[in-house]
Amino acid sequence: MKRLTAIFLVLLGVSGAAGTVNAQIRNDEVYEFPNLNEDNYRQSLIVPDIEGYKTLKCDFHAHTVFSDGKLWPDQRVDEAWADGLDVIAITDHIEYRPNKELLISDFNKSNEIARKRGDASGMLVIKGSEITRSKPLGHLNALFIQDANKLDVKDPLAAIDEALSQGAFIQWNHPGWPNDTSTIYPVHRDLIAKGKIHGVEVFNSSESYPEVIDWSNEFGLAPMANTDIHGLSAMGYRGRFLRPMTLVFAKEYTEEAVKEALFAKRTVACYNSTLSGKEEYLTALIKASLSLRVINKEKGVVEITNNSDIIFQIKYGKLMYSVPLYPFQTMRTSLRAGTEVTFTNCIPAKDRYVVTTLW
């Protein structure tokens, strides 16, 4: 008779969520190694809270097989969770669905599947769609919509109005794509003047649009950075880079709070350890991320510790170029009290950096 030893380890109190470790078996014929399965492991991604708000790491632009992406919606959610994000929006194209013959032709379906997974795994999933038209209008994400099917109309301005009637936040996507030119066309000026565009991508996928941070300042738009992911995040970033994300300063971790923060434009675009947004938020992120210990006051010998996952780049005194402050490392340096430090990874406007003192 087969000798059976079963060790049941209830590791997590969640039941019914696929990918959750509930039991571990070891018998004469089967040894299980759940530690080789990364499904239940999430990367810690530390960006500090500021000004009494929670700093949520968000991606407001992601595709699935329901448009031209490569992943099923629930996997897109799992992937974002594993990458350390707090919020993901599924924003499949309305107008471009190469797989539509294979899949149910319902524009709400990808979000339904994604939200079900988000509910099971404690991940906030925002319902969105990408209104996908040629330039001059270009592409816009409608976030927090109720019914994506109603956006499938010929007139793009009518699609935007429909999304707005559903309470949507409208994000202008990749203004510099596909013609390598970032242009505000009259249609955008008109929509912005009417309060029909609320945010704009300073960064999309692997492109930044340096002028766009000035637009966000001039027109009061929320600066955003998103992946616009179609394939696998592991292939795109492979652990070496943080995936692009929009930092949202929210009152709490709920959909309502994220929406409130977006409409209040409390965001910073974060890509490749570059932070772009209002100077107030950038300075607050610097102060909350770095701590300083004075070793010798007269000689100005200090230790600076970076308590975040952002690589800060700093320049001061006689330094000819920036030096990095790596995540969770301490750097010893000479920095006298009152010395101005330039943070060349913190961009409040085109060709401008945050300059501040650390003590």
Q: For binding to Zn ion (CB under 5 A), which residues are involved?
A: 130, 228
Q: How far is CA 348 from CA 205, 275, 317, in A?
A: 20, 8, 22
> CB-wise, 61 or 278, nearer to Zn ion?
61
CB of 233 to Zn ion, least distance (A): 15
Residue closer to Zn ion (CB basis): 136 or 195: 136
Nearer to Zn ion, 61 or 266 (CB): 61
Q: How far is CA 153 from the centre of its chain?
A: 29
Per-position DSSP letters for 110-168, written without gaps between them: HHHHHHHHHHHHT-EEEEEEEEE--TTT-EEEEES-S-GGGG--S-HHHHHHHHHHTTP
- Give whichever of 90 and 286 is closer to Zn ion, judged by the CB atom: 90
Nearest distance from C-beta of residue 68 to Zn ion, angstroms: 9
The minimum distance between CB 226 and Zn ion, in angstroms, equals 8
For Zn ion, the closer of residues 172 and 249 by Cβ is 172
Q: Beta strands of 251-300 (E only): which ranges?
A: 267-271, 274-277, 290-296
From the CB of 63, what's the least distance to Zn ion, in Å?
6
* Cβ nearer to Zn ion, comparing 209 with 281: 209
CA distances from 243 to 43, 85, 210 (A): 12, 9, 19
Please, where are the H alpha helices in 5-108?
A: 73-82
Cα–Cα distance for residue pair 148/92, rounded to 1 Å = 10
Pairing mode, strands 301-306 and 330-334:
antiparallel
* Residue 144: CB minimum distance to Zn ion, A: 17
How many CA within 13 A on the CB side of residue 243?
A: 30
Least Å from the CB of residue 62 to Zn ion: 8
Shortest distance (Å) from residue 131 CB to Zn ion: 10
Cα–Cα nearest to 144, from 177, 108, 169: 169
What is the distance, to the nearest Å, from the Cα of residue 103 to the centroid of all Cα atoms in its chain? 28
Task: Report the residue number, 125 or 335, with the smaller CB distance to Zn ion.
Answer: 125
Q: How far is the CB of 276 from Zn ion (least distance, A)?
A: 20
Give the nearest residue (CB) to Zn ion.
228
Residue closest to 137 by CA, chosen among 191, 218, 209: 191
Nearest CB to Zn ion, comparing residues 244 and 348: 244
